[in-house]
Amino acid sequence: MADSEAQQQAEMKRRIEENWAKAAASYSEWVIQNRLLTRLYPRFQEWLVPRLKDVAGARILDVASARQVGEPAVTLAAALPHAQVVSTDIAAPFQELGRARAAKAGLGNVCFESADAEDLHKYADASFDAVTCSLGLMFLPNLGAALREFARVLKPGGWFAATVWMAEERMPFFLTVKILAMQYDPATVLAAANMAVRFGDPAGLLHDLGGAGLTDGRAEGIEVDYDLPAHLWWKALLELPLPIQPALAKAQAQRPGEDVFEEGRLKMLEMAGQQGWLTEGGDLHCKDNGCWFVTAQKPAA
C-alpha cells in the first residue's frame, strides 16, 4: 500500500475512533437502556449456539463490541456458558459498562480488552472457534486487513458472523436524516459518504471475505426497528456520527441571530410525523430498517 493511502487510512481511523469515543456514553444509553438494537444480538445467538454448543472450551472473539455495550459478546456469553468470550473494541479506556453488565448478569466467561480489528496481533493463529462483529465492519478503513486477521485467528472450521446496515434506501432512519441535512448544507452531506451504509450491497463484502480465505459467505436480510423515547431521539440524531449535526452547525454559523438547531428539530419532528413514526407521547418508532446478517466459515484443515 502507498504511504499516502496508509496515512489517509490512519487519519480516518483516528477520526472514527474519536467520534465513537464521544458518542460512547450516549450509544450505550440508546442501545442498552432503550433496547434500540436488541433484535440484532439474538440473531448471533441463534446462529452460533447450534454450531458451538458441543464444542468443549469454545472461544469467541467479538470485535468492535463498543466500550460501554459489549455486544454481542455479553449475549453470547450468557447463551454459551461453557464458552470463553473475548469482547474487544479499539476504544480506550475500556468498556466499564460492558464489564458492569457482565458482572450484573453473573457472567464469569466474558472478558474485555482493547484491540484494533485490523491488527489482532495479541491473539494467536487459530485460537478462536468464532469471530463476531456487530455493526463494526463499516468503520474499518482497511477492511481487507481486518478480514485477514479474522481468518488468521480462527481455527480451521471456525465461524464468522457480522451485521452491517443495508443501503440508505433500505434505512429510512438514515435517509430521513440525510434529506434534512441536505436542506442545510448539501456540500458537506454529499462530501461525507455515510460509512454506516457502506455495505448496502453486500456482494463486495462477500467477495472480500472469500479473498481473505473465509468461504461459503452468505447475507441474510433482517429488519430492525428504531424505538427511542421522546426526550432522546433528537439528541441521538445529533450525537450519532451522522451528517445532521455538522450541517446544522454550518448553517448556524451563517445565521447567527437564529436558532437553526431548533428549526431543524421541528422539521425533523414534522418529517417523522408525516411518516407515521411518532407515538402520541412523541416517542420515535421508525420501522423496517434493513440490516444484513453476514456469515462465513474458515475451511476445515
> What residues line the site for ligand SAM (CB under 6 A)?
13, 16-17, 20, 31, 37, 63-66, 69, 71, 89-91, 116-118, 134-136, 139-140
Closer residue to ligand SAM, CB minimum distance, 111 or 269 = 111
**Please, what is the minimum distance in Å from the beta carbon of residue 136 to ligand SAM?**
4
131 beta partners: 61, 160
- Shortest Cβ 181–ligand SAM spacing (Å): 19
- Rounded least distance, CB 242 to ligand SAM, Å: 12
Q: Residue 246, preceding bond cis, omega within 30 degrees?
A: no
83 or 161: whose CB is closer to ligand SAM?
Answer: 161
Helix, strand or coil, per DSSP, at residue 101: helix
Q: Smallest distance from the beta carbon of 289 to ligand SAM, in angstroms?
A: 13
How many secondary structure helices (H) and strands (E) does the chain include? 11, 7
- Collapsing DSSP to helix, strand or coil, 226 comes out as strand
Nearer to ligand SAM, 31 or 83 (CB): 31
d(CA 41, CA 58): 19
Q: Which is nearer to ligand SAM, 136 or 217 (CB)?
A: 136
Q: 3-class DSSP state for residue 85?
A: strand
- Of the pair 181, 291, the CB lying nearest ligand SAM is at 291
- As measured in angstroms, the least distance from the Cβ of 89 to ligand SAM is 5
The residues near 50 (Cβ < 8 Å, ≥ 6 apart) are none
Question: From the CB of residue 209, how many other CB atoms can be counted at a distance below 10 Å?
Answer: 26
Q: Kindly tell me which of 140 and 260 has the beta carbon lying closer to ligand SAM.
A: 140
DSSP 4-55: HHHHHHHHHHHHHHHHHHHHHHHHHIIIIIT-TTTTTHHHHHHHHHHHHTT-
Q: How many CB atoms lie within 10 A of CB 214?
A: 24
Q: How far is the CB of 119 from ligand SAM (least distance, A)?
A: 8
